[in-house]
Amino acid sequence: MNNKGNASNSKDIKRLNRILVRNIIRKLGPIARYELAKETGLTPPTVTVIVNELISDGVVLEVGHGESSGGRRPVMLEINPQAAYIFALRLQRDEVVTALFNLKGDILSHHKRVIDTAAPERVVEAVGNSFDWLIEDTGIDREKVLCCGVASPGLINTQRGVIGHSSNLKWDRVPLGAMLSKRLYGIPVHVENISNAAALAEKEYGCGRGYHDLIYLNLSVGVGAGIIIEDKIYGGSKGYAGEIGHIAVISENGPECACGRLGCLEAICGVRAIIERVKEALPDAVFESYGLNKNKLSMDDIIFPPILETKEVEGIFQEAGNWVGFILAHLVSIFNPELIILGGELSKAGPKFLATVVEKMNKNLLKELVGTAKVVCSNMKDDPALIGAYVLALEMLFSIEKWYG
């Protein structure tokens, strides 16, 4: 019995060491073998054995020589960006964006589709077709796509990949992870809330770099907060933390929300709510004079300065900014973050909107808390939720010992 236990322990240790070495190379590469030993706490011979295995598997590459610290210049190691690939997607009502990434985070090809998201089965089929199309487009070996990451709106059980509820997609208890995995030839799928995924992307590649505690506010069709505490997504007991879009801020006689209740933050500050209000507020002639189709109005049309600077539209953004600032004061009081990032279409509404948010937040905070969190607008060029889905799938991939065979 004991012997068996020890054998499995040493196997476990080997497995964990291999995962550790590979992760350090990913995070710190290009890196020399002696630095790897220092970072991992493993002996140089152990590091050598693992590195040799990783090189012969094609996972790690030797990429030239580093600076010498006295003796010979050390050979540097890096993850082979083509050792495996990741498929990621971002979902929202009537739209899905998919992309194939290499292990360096480069998007090899992407695909944006307008689809009817009412039936989960149809979404899974559309995503599957898009995956096949991307494989064909890039010409990469399908068997080298090893993990999938999904950013979706809603309350999500990330452990099980189940969307418990999404007012945005109008889904309840959809086992999206399992459904997608089946269509994607059995690869593992990680499903995460869209705001959490975007928060992670900002932390890795955006204005959140170097911060450990931050909040990303997704001000898009849906409204939600991604909370990062000590470098990790804070999900709460069920993974539902940050679902602030359906706090009923005007519960009596407020505007109707997609969730069926009245006066939710999303029914006031969500993209659809803003578009509807702008359409009502301005006479048709204003839209016509700028060649805009009132029935197909987008946020880009609204943040077009001659529209944005009308007093009616300024008033709408002022109200939205006030509610966002009010809710932010609560988040700052509860979590005491170092940084708040406003993302989504509303974050492009300009400096006046940002100033309204900050002013209202400060008004509602204890004075000692004013100025403790920096508030900025996202400046990521790529879709942060999509990038976050990639980061999560990458982490999943690097927790699997053997990628092939």
Our finding on whether 259 is near Zn ion (CB under 5 A) is: yes
Options 7-15, 40-48, 264-272, 335-343: segment touching Zn ion (CB under 5 A): 264-272
Nearer to Zn ion, 61 or 257 (CB): 257
Helix (H) or strand (E) holding 49: helix 44-56
Strands (E), 267-365: 339-343
Radius of gyration of the chain (CA): 24
Our finding on whether 26 is near Zn ion (CB under 5 A) is: no
- HSE-up of residue 233 (Cα within 13 Å, Cβ side): 27
From CA 76, how far away is CA 25, in angstroms rounded?
A: 10
Options 116-124, 251-259, 282-290, 355-363: segment touching Zn ion (CB under 5 A): 251-259
* Number of residues that make up the chain: 405
Options 7-15, 128-136, 238-246, 364-372: segment touching Zn ion (CB under 5 A): 238-246
Closest separation in Å from C-beta 264 to Zn ion: 3
- DSSP sequence for 286-312: HHHHTT--GGG--HHHHTSHHHHTSHH
From CA 38, how far away is CA 308, in angstroms rounded?
A: 56
Closest separation in Å from C-beta 39 to Zn ion: 47
Our finding on whether 262 is near Zn ion (CB under 5 A) is: no
Options 2-10, 23-31, 152-160, 250-258: segment touching Zn ion (CB under 5 A): 250-258
Decide: helix, strand or coil at residue 101.
Answer: strand
Our finding on whether 264 is near Zn ion (CB under 5 A) is: yes
Nearer to Zn ion, 267 or 313 (CB): 267
Cα first-last separation, the chain:
29
Nearer to Zn ion, 269 or 392 (CB): 269
Nearer to Zn ion, 228 or 268 (CB): 268
Closest separation in Å from C-beta 177 to Zn ion: 25
- DSSP sequence for 157-176: ETTTTEEEEETTTTEEEE-H
Options 51-59, 88-96, 154-162, 242-250: segment touching Zn ion (CB under 5 A): 242-250
Our finding on whether 93 is near Zn ion (CB under 5 A) is: no
From CA 305, how far away is CA 223, in angstroms rounded?
A: 24
From candidates 111, 165, 203, 246, binder to Zn ion by CB under 5 A: 246
From CA 13, how far away is CA 46, in angstroms rounded?
A: 11
From candidates 37, 257, 268, 387, binder to Zn ion by CB under 5 A: 257
From CA 198, how far away is CA 347, in angstroms rounded?
A: 14
Closest separation in Å from C-beta 254 to Zn ion: 10
Return residues touching Zn ion (CB under 5 A): 246, 257, 259, 264
